[in-house]
Amino acid sequence: MIMNVLELKVPPLVLAILFGGAMWAISRILPTGDVFIPGKLWFSGVVLAVGACIALLGVLEFRSAGTTVDPRTPHQSESLVVKGVYRFTRNPMYLGFFLMLVAWGIFLGSVFAALLLPLFVVYMNRFQILPEERHMRALFGEAFDRYASRVRRWL
């Protein structure tokens, strides 16, 4: 199927940057969607920091476990990481990217730009997370199923 061509192809960091650029463009093209957010610089900074920390913790856990951090090659995973931040979310790096985009949306103060946030989640679920989960099931079988049954994809 043509849609399968997109599976595991666009690195999530690149995707987050593309979505961030699209959010900026929309905020400039449709300024009528601007909203006043009191303390938006402080608030967006806190959300950005939280997102960056969550993503970094995910990377550090993968490195500590000696498994691949490259999201395009989940079949090369050497271990199922279930400790640290992975006790709370199966996708801390993606959750971190999402929170960083939320911070960007707050900073931009554009309702129309924020409408791209659900599209990021939908794209990540369909073209990154579901294919990764297929590989994890193939590699780790019942252990992955047990993990997936107790830890949510996002939060």
Residue 1 domain-assigned? Answer: no
Distinct helix (H) and strand (E) counts, the chain? 6, 0
Number of domain units in the chain: 1
Residue 136 domain-assigned? Answer: yes
Map residue 34 onto helix, strand or coil. strand
Residue 63 domain-assigned? Answer: yes
Residue 155 domain-assigned? Answer: no
Q: Which domain holds residue 123?
A: 11-150
Share of the chain above pLDDT 90, in %: 84
pLDDT at 1: 56
pLDDT at 2: 57
Residue 37 domain-assigned? Answer: yes
Residue 2 domain-assigned? Answer: no
Cα gap 27→71, rounded to integer Å: 30
Residue 117 domain-assigned? Answer: yes
pLDDT at 155: 92
Map residue 49 onto helix, strand or coil. helix
Residue 4 domain-assigned? Answer: no
Q: Quote the longest CA-to-CA distance of the chain.
A: 51
pLDDT at 103: 98
Identify the DSSP state of 110: B
Regions in the chain scoring below 70 on pLDDT:
1-3
28, 112 Cβ separation under 8 angstroms:
no
Structure-token match 């599976």, residue found: 7
